Structure 1
Amino acid sequence: MREIEIKVRLQDKEGLLAALAAKGVVLGESVHQRDQVFGLPGEVGGDGNTAPWLRVRTEMRRQGEDTTKRALFTFKRSVTG
């Protein structure tokens, strides 16, 4: 599995939503996420960290009047080059 994450600052949310809708994109319900991250003892976190780390993510989704909750356990490491 390969994960790529891109973050951008959004200037015109309504314009973006209109452009996506015009392309036929349908967005689902929002997901509330809470992450707990665990690194190796003595390793400094943050950008530039190449040591492997673990993430436990708890997700809560609303589906109508029901709320579902799940936990994801992820091992991550930086890949360079």
Structure 2
Amino acid sequence: DASAMDKKQKQFDKLINEWKQKCEDITVELEASQKESRHYSTELFKLKTQYEESHEQIEALRKENKNLAEEIKV
């Protein structure tokens, strides 16, 4: 009967709309997570670069310190 079909169609449309909304919400959440991930990746790269530069400076200072210690002994 037509009213039963109409009721089923409305329920189906409601279900479709709920799933569309869920998909939109998940898409927004995914995009936010990807943006956050890119931010952390950039921050990590900066920190890694700073660490490597600091490590090089420490090694240079150790070498210079060793050379100065040798000069003092002589």
Under a length normalisation based on structure 2, what TM-score does the superposition of the two structures give? 0.17
Q: Judging by fraction of residues, say which structure has more strand.
A: 1
Q: Which of the pair is proportionally richer in helix?
A: 2
